[in-house]
Structure 1
């Protein structure tokens, strides 16, 4: 059971490492480019790769923590039963979008696997994989929230 708790925290831990990593890489880039006048070509590609993963994982974690923009001011004014239906509809809509994203990401991943980063000499696959991973996280977290709302039987919930 402890292992599951650690696995559940993995996306947040990866996000923290990516934030630290991108900060360090960009700091190195600024120092070497502007102070030492010796630009390092790899820093740009590494920073972009990290930013893509940071963005897509951030969407998944934002869904999990309910950190995304919602019309809470409107929803909280509605009766509890309607609030529940609004939240169910919102989660179903997000799941539908994430399933479509996952489906179409396979072609993107396949096409990206044939390209390489010019300086790093690694496959674009590593960048493209952020899309299906994020879609899976979104489906998982929205699915959990959806089950929660479906099992509430109309009780109010402060999101």
Structure 2
């Protein structure tokens, strides 16, 4: 399983870098062609919009796999051990359910319907279904990461990074920020 995770991490990370590189080149060319050449390129504008969508979705999937998503961790400051593991498993199950219903099922329906109707992009004349393919693609990747992370959390042999929570410093309004300290 670790080899599969490494493979997906490598491929997804490379895809994000590739998409971002092409996006930057398109935007730079768009600015150059508009302000230096005086004739804005219509194709790079469209490519940049679609690549931005792809990088947002694939970047979200990659971030989930790296455990770097934005999180409200107030509960984890006061919990530790088994109960914290259970909360994290519950959160991953909720994420997995959302991803399955909205991104996989809904995204697949959107992609299939747009391909069936033959909707094309205005400038490039490529099927819009390919653009919307970012949704089920990243949904599948996110679901993969959810399953892997749940398996890791449920494995008793896997060390849990938050097994020991430092409770020696109580969290209070006066100690949580320098502005709240009184001298």
TM-score, with length taken from structure 2: 0.79
In 2, the alpha carbon distance for the partners of 1:81 and 1:91 equals 15
Q: What's the counterpart of residue 58 of structure 2? A: 57
Greater Rg over alpha carbons, structure: 2
Query: Shift in Å at residue 2 of structure 1?
Result: 7.8
What CA RMSD, in Å, does the superposition of the two structures yield over aligned residues? 2.3
- Consecutive unaligned residues in structure 1, runs of 5 or more: none
Distance change >3 Å, CA 138–CA 78, structure 1 → 2: same
Q: Which moved more, 1:106-115 or 1:117-126?
A: 106-115
Q: What's the counterpart of residue 106 of structure 1? A: 108
Distance change >3 Å, CA 144–CA 86, structure 1 → 2: same
Structure 1 residue ranges, 4+ long, deviating more than 6 angstroms after superposition: 1-4
SS in structure 2 opposite 1:68? coil
SS in structure 2 opposite 1:157? coil
Q: What's the counterpart of residue 46 of structure 1? A: 47
Query: Shift in Å at residue 82 of structure 1?
Result: 1.1
Distance change >3 Å, CA 7–CA 94, structure 1 → 2: closer
Q: What do residues 38-85 of structure 1 show as CA deviations (whole Å, max 9, x unaligned)?
A: 111101110011111101101100100111111234313213111111
SS in structure 2 opposite 1:138? helix
In 1, the alpha carbon distance for the partners of 2:155 and 2:78 equals 22
In 1, the alpha carbon distance for the partners of 2:127 and 2:46 equals 12
Query: Shift in Å at residue 5 of structure 1?
Result: 4.3
Q: How many residues align?
A: 159
TM-score, with length taken from structure 1: 0.91
Q: What's the counterpart of residue 168 of structure 2? A: none
In 1, the alpha carbon distance for the partners of 2:160 and 2:78 equals 11
Distance change >3 Å, CA 139–CA 13, structure 1 → 2: same
Higher relative contact order (CA 8 A, sep 6+): 1
In 2, the alpha carbon distance for the partners of 1:68 and 1:2 equals 22
